[in-house]
Structure 1
Amino acid sequence: MISFMSNDNLADIWRRIILGDGKSWVVFAHGTCVVLPDPAPGVDLAAQAVEILREYGPVHVGSPSADFGTVTLDPGPGWAVYGHHNDVLTYVGPDEVSDDSDLAVGLYGRHKRNRDGHELTVVHVEDKRPR
């Protein structure tokens, strides 16, 4: 059971999830977000996030990249799935999985991160650096 999330919906979801007004972040097409807590002035945030996701997005079985954990969002709905980079998270909505177990949610989130790590399609940049 997979639903389509618009780019605006993804940005709104991540605005709700990310705590701290000073964190910049970048969202990719399948719901993966790379948080950039302290980017340097003048750095292209999208390019920096692409480099991080290029390295930490793809899944390689038997390596740390295949590991994951889930966090149930409060307030919900949905989950954030994390992996081997602290600043890379993937959103999984309740309408995307029919089984809400940690294993099913985590596997689906890892699959979405893998797709984002290969496709590297940026859909939103939230620049919170001081002006």
Structure 2
Amino acid sequence: MMIAVNTEMLIDTWRRILTDSRKSWVLFEHGTCVVLTAPSGELAEQATALLKEFGPVHAGSPSGDFGVTDLKDADGWIVTGHHNDILTYVGLDESQELPEIAVGLFGRSKRHRDGTELHVVHVEDKRGSADPE
């Protein structure tokens, strides 16, 4: 069961989660965020290339692995995968009654959809916006 995702809510949620003001990131349609630790050129293209390679799930490979982090500052979880900079948000409204393993599987399925559909919905370009010391 996939629930329609509110893009503005997702952008706000990711802004609360990713508190480093120097990190650029790109958000995809189903809630997967690619954090760009070395942003260069067109950010959407850079993130799309990463997600195309590391987003889809292939049975029996590291792409099937995931971790689940319960968020303190947002209602929901972050599901991680085999690339440290690719994170998927699962909201309480999507899996409130599910055990952690089911949240992880659901988040992994959202990452797979984002990794195969590759539809960018937001780019947060933080290059040059670092606070001066």
| AA of the residue aligned to 2:75 | P
TM-score normalised to structure 1 length: 0.93
| AA of the residue aligned to 1:95 | D
| AA of the residue aligned to 1:88 | I
How much does 1:98 deviate? 4.5
Alignment of 1:13-52 (within 5 A): 13-40=13-40, 43-52=41-50
Distance change (3 Å), C-alpha of 1:55 and 1:2 = closer
How much does 1:4 deviate? 2.5
How much does 1:2 deviate? 4.9
Instruction: Report the Cα distance in structure 2 between the residues aligned to 1:89 and 1:126, rounded to whole angstroms.
Output: 15
Instruction: Report the Cα distance in structure 2 between the residues aligned to 1:103 and 1:15, rounded to whole angstroms.
Output: 26
CA contact (8 A) 1:94 1:100 kept: no
Q: For residues 35-69 of structure 1, what are the alpha-carbon distances to aligned partners after superposition, in whole Å with 9 as ceiling and x for unaligned?
A: 002313xx100000000000000000110000000
TM-score normalised to structure 2 length: 0.92
The alignment status of 1:4 with 2:4, answered yes or no, reads yes
Secondary structure of 2:127's aligned partner: coil
Long gaps (5+) in structure 2: none
Runs of 4+ in structure 1 displaced over 6 angstroms? none
Over aligned residue pairs, what C-alpha RMSD do you find? Answer: 1.4
The alignment status of 1:118 with 2:113, answered yes or no, reads no
State the match for 1:64 in structure 2.
62
State the match for 1:85 in structure 2.
83
Secondary structure of 2:93's aligned partner: coil
Instruction: Report the Cα distance in structure 2 between the residues aligned to 1:4 and 1:99, rounded to whole angstroms.
Output: 18
Long gaps (5+) in structure 1: none
Instruction: Report the Cα distance in structure 2 between the residues aligned to 1:109 and 1:38, rounded to whole angstroms.
Output: 25
Instruction: Report the Cα distance in structure 2 between the residues aligned to 1:61 and 1:19, rounded to whole angstroms.
Output: 33
